[in-house]
Structure 1
C-alpha cells in the first residue's frame, strides 16, 4: 500500500498511518508555514491509497491545526500561529513588527455612526450621539488575520481620512495628536465566524475566531476607544504569563 506501510505503522488504519507520516513531514520542516500542501491526487499517487483515505488524513490534519483549505488556493500549512504575549498595550501593527512579519492593511474605512448603547455608555457619550468608527482588515505576510471595528468619541477630533490609519493607529496618535494610550482592558472569547466576517477574513462560515474586546485609556483612566477584533484562530493565539 505504498509508503504508508514503510514506517512501521502497519497496525494502524491507513488514514491514520498517512496522517502520522504527513505530520512528520510538516514537523521536520519539509513543508513550512504558508507552503501549499500536496493535493489529493498527488497524495493518492505517492502513497498508493484511496481518495477516502487521503481525505480522512487531511481532515485530521485540519482538526489538528496543521493545515487549512482555502478556496482557489488549496491546502496550506498553518502550523505556526502568531503567539502574542500580553505584557503591554500594543497595536496589531506593533505586534507584527515585533514578530518580524510584514503587516498590511487590506481594507480601511472610517465613518460617523450611532454606536450600540453599551458602547455609548463606555465612551461616555449620549445615547443616539454619533462617534467616529474605524473598520479595518489587517494582514500578516499577505494573509488576512484580523478584522477590527474601533469606536472613538468625536471629542478627540480624528480626521476623516482612511489613508491615515493604514499603519499603527497608536503610533499615529502619538505622532500627530500627542495622544498616548496608557492602559487597556482586554476581554477574550471564542466565537464562530458569521457570513460577513468569514468573507473579510477568507475563512469558512462558522470557522473558529478569537474575539477581543478592548477598552483603552489615556491620562488617568479616561476612556479613549472601544474596539472589537476578530482574529483567525488558525493563525493567532495569546499567551499570558502570570
Structure 2
C-alpha cells in the first residue's frame, strides 16, 4: 500500500469517526467499533485505523483503549485551520450568516508596541482595519486587524464590507500556515460598547492572534473582542499528549 493511499485512508477513517461523534451517533461513554470492524468497513489494513484512532485520542475525543474497547470521552468537535482563523468560515459552518460593518481602513506608521508585535521597525507602514462583526445581523465581535504593508496592500484593494479578509488574502496567494492565539478578558471601552450595544466596562472575550507564513514571516496581528454569550472556546487535552494550549501568568500592567 502506498504512503499516499495510507494517508487517504487514515483521513477518511478519522473524518468518519469525528463526524459520527459530533452528530451523536456515538455518545460519550459509547464503545467505538473495533479495529477489525473498521478495517472491514474501510477495506483497510490496521495501520491507517490505528493512525486515525491515535489522532482522535490526541484530540481528547476517545479513550486510550489499552486492553479494552475504545470509548468516546467527549463530543466537542475539532475544527479546521480555516474555521479557527476565519470568523466568516466559522459562521458558515455553523449555519450562521456572517456580516461586517467596517468603521475604517487606514495605512499608517506603526507605533512601538504594534511594530514589536509585527516584528517590524518602528514607523514602518502598516494597514489597519477596525470592523464590527455580525452573526445573523446581530452585533457579536469587534475586530482590530493590522498587517505589514507587504500583506496589507491586498486589504487596501479589497472591499472590507464584502466579506472575509482572510479568504481574500488566501485568494491573493498569501501563505497563511500558522497562528498563535492569546485568550483573555477585557472590559469594553467606549468604541466597543457603542458598536456592541452594551455598557462601557462589559466583560468581553478577547482573542489576540498573530498569523505567520510557512517561512515564519508575520502576516497579521489582531485583537478580536467577542460578547462572551456569543462565543466560547473549548479545548480537549489528554495526559501524555502535547497540547497546543499554554496557561501563562499575566502581568497586570500589560492589560
- TM-score, normalised by the number of residues in structure 1: 0.60
Q: Which has the higher contact order (CA 8 A, sep 6+)?
A: 1
Counterpart pick for 1:90 among 80, 85, 104: 85
**1:162 CA displacement:** 5.5
**Contact 1:215-1:226 within 8 A present in 2 as well:** yes
SS of 2:124's equivalent? coil
CA distance in 2, matches of 1:193, 1:138: 15
Tell me whether 1:173 sits opposite 2:169 in the alignment: yes
Higher strand share: 1
1:163 aligns with 2:159: yes
Taking the TM superposition and a 5 Å limit, the aligned residue runs for 1:28-107 are 88=81, 89-107=84-102
Partner of 1:241: 236
Match of 2:197 in 1: 202
Kindly report the root-mean-square deviation, in angstroms, between the aligned alpha carbons of the 2 structures: 2.1
Cα deviation, residue 221, structure 1: 1.9
- Give unpaired runs (5+ residues) of structure 1: 1-82
Deviation readout 1:82-114 (Å, 9 max, x if unpaired): x99666342100110111100111235210123
Deviations 1:211-240 (A, max 9, x none): 111010112222110001111112111111
Residue in 1 aligned with 2:218? 223
Write the distance in 1 (CA, Å) between the matches of 2:189 and 2:160: 29
In the alignment of these two chains, the number of paired residues is 159
- Of the candidates 167, 171, 185, which is equivalent to residue 180 of structure 2? 185
Give secondary structure in 1 for the equivalent of 2:232. strand
Decide whether the 8 Å contact of 1:110 with 1:161 is kept in 2: no
Give the TM-score, by structure 2 length: 0.57
Q: Secondary structure at the match of 2:167?
A: helix
Gaps of 5+ in 2: 1-75, 238-255
SS in 2 for 1:96: helix
Please report how far the alpha carbon of residue 115 of structure 1 lies from its aligned counterpart in structure 2 after TM superposition: 3.0
1:77 aligned residue: none
Instruction: List 4+ stretches of structure 1 deviating above 4 A.
Output: 83-87
Question: 1: distance between equivalents of 2:91 and 2:77?
Answer: 9
Structure 1 CA distance, aligned partners of 2:160 and 2:146? Answer: 16
Quote the offset at 1:164 in angstroms. Answer: 4.4
Worse-matched range after superposition: 161-170 or 216-225 = 161-170
Structure 2 CA distance, aligned partners of 1:214 and 1:125? 16
